[in-house]
Amino acid sequence: GTALTRVVDRLDATLPLLARPYGLLSSRAKRLGDVYDMRLLLQQTTCMTGADAAEVFYDPRRFVRAGAAPRRLRATLFGEGGVQALDGERHRARKEMFMSLMTPEARDDLCDITARLWRERIASWAGDGRRAVLFDEVSELLCEAVCAWTGVPVTRPQVPAVTRVLLSLIDSPAAVGPRYLRGRAARRLADRWAAGHVVRARESETAEGTALEKIAGFRDTGGRPLPPEVAGVELLNVLRPTVAVARFVVFAALALHGNPSWRRRLQDDHAPEPMDAFVQEVRRFYPFFPFAAARVAHDFTWRGHQFQKGRRVLLDLHGIDHDPRLWDRPEQFRPERFLGWEPDAYSFVPQGGGDHYEGHRCPGEWATEDLMKVSVAALTRWMDYTVPAQDLRIPPWSAPALPKSGFVIAQVQARD
């Protein structure tokens, strides 16, 4: 590169990364290759992209998660003591607990609750003829559904406030100023609230058979129950990301709006394959989780690059899902690419890569797909609506991303 790009590469990249959370890593990779260093949060940081890099990144002998997440992420999104920062046996045991919540029967229950709430919302939008901001409405709908499913008692009038707190945990980590501070306050509030539910679940039998009971009753590798605050963090690790699925639902609505032939196809053809393909392409195409972070477990060399023990490493998840070596015309939205084809565990990583049980790949991946399918069925088969003029652009500096308007729908009519 030019002298100027060489100087820029040596400066701290925190602000450029906040300005372009989805584009910066891959644009540097184009110049610097699949593995390169940059300064981030005043620390020398290694960035990796590509399917081969993902395979290395998800090898637990090479990378650990203790101390990997920057403090501002722990103070908002993750909390302290949760599964994200565990390694080895303790991670495996805790992860097993999350996976045990994701049986097909349990996911069916979550979908049934969600479907019922969709029908109710559709009837209410149709009844009062008002416009609805899909992001706000679906966030609340999913919040109500996941609280009912996990056994957390939340009354309907409480749903908007609980939703706001959970959303704040998600949209604050990459923010500066008041939004970041609101996120920290939301974390403190949510931690107290969730720990309270854990304590109550332990004292009574009301949570029997629910996810809350499993989390409250979980015993660590030492045989002891988790401290209520940590169990609360894990409860929030189910509630928060389920509400976050609303972003994917909005992206699905955006994709249906931009691809009328796919809307018609999903409306008419109720076979599972087109729905699967559409949902996978929404998860691949739209920006959500920009990268995952880990630390080097011990010194090793890969592709001639020295990985020093303790060094923070970022894996460019969004870049891998748009890597032209893995995807034909990656910048086009084409669900067809998923028809009759399944990607491997390292080339399609919107919710992380590798193995769900052994590594840190998202345990909620199947539930996410299920909830998206219910929601796409609702949008295509259960209702008619119009999309009034609005600002649907996705600002490139916001992570996680969302269309400006939150996707407004109008003139809703229930079908069937």
The window from 269-277, 301-309, 326-334, 346-354 that contacts ligand HEM (CB under 6 A) reads 346-354
| Strand positions, DSSP E, 86-240 | 132-133
Nearer to ligand HEM, 121 or 361 (CB): 361
- The smaller minimum CB distance to ligand HEM, of residues 84 and 375, is found at 84
CB of 291 to ligand HEM, least distance (A): 8
Is the Cβ of residue 335 or residue 364 nearer to ligand HEM in the bound state? 364
Go through the chain and tell me how many residues it has: 416
Pairing of strands 35-40, 305-307: unpaired
Contacts with ligand HEM, 317-336, as mask; x by CB under 6 A: x-------------------
The two tokens of residue 347 are 């080339």
Q: How far separated are the first and last CA of the chain, in Å rounded? A: 61
Determine the residue with CB nearest ligand HEM: 364
Binding region for ligand HEM (CB under 6 A) out of 15-23, 196-204, 218-226, 244-252:
244-252
Q: How far is the CB of 183 from ligand HEM (least distance, A)?
A: 17
Nearer Cβ to ligand HEM (98/278)? 98
Is the separation of the CB atoms in 53 and 314 below 8 Å? Answer: no
Choosing from 45, 76, 84, 114, the residue that interacts with ligand HEM (CB under 6 A) is 84
Distance CA 102, CA 82 (A): 18
Among 197, 318, 337, 360, contact with ligand HEM (rule: CB under 6 A): 360
Tokens 């584009």 belong to which residue? 23
| 45 in contact with ligand HEM (CB under 6 A) | no
Binding flag, residue 364, ligand HEM (CB under 6 A): yes
Please tell me the number of Cα atoms within 13 Å of 350 on its side-chain side. Answer: 21
Residue whose CB is less far from ligand HEM, 114 or 368: 368
Does 352 engage in binding with ligand HEM (CB under 6 A)? yes
Collapsing DSSP to helix, strand or coil, 13 comes out as coil
Helix (H, G, I), strand (E, B) or coil at 293: strand
CB of 6 to ligand HEM, least distance (A): 31
> Cα angle vertex 90, ends 87, 94, to 5°?
105
In this complex, which beta carbon is closest to ligand HEM, that of residue 175 or of residue 249? 249
CB under 6 A: which stretch of 1-9, 47-55, 354-362, 403-411 binds ligand HEM? 354-362
| Sequence-separated (6 or more) residues with CB below 8 Å from residue 108 | none
- Report residue 293: phi and psi, to 5°: -125, 145
Q: Is the peptide bond before 160 cis (omega within 30 degrees of 0)?
A: no
| Cα distance between residue 84 and residue 130, in whole Å | 41
Q: Is 48 helix (H, G, I), strand (E, B) or coil?
A: strand
Applying CB under 6 A, does 241 fall inside the site for ligand HEM? yes
Site residues, ligand HEM (CB under 6 A): 83-84, 95, 98, 237-238, 241-242, 244-245, 248, 288-289, 292, 317, 350-352, 360-364, 367-368
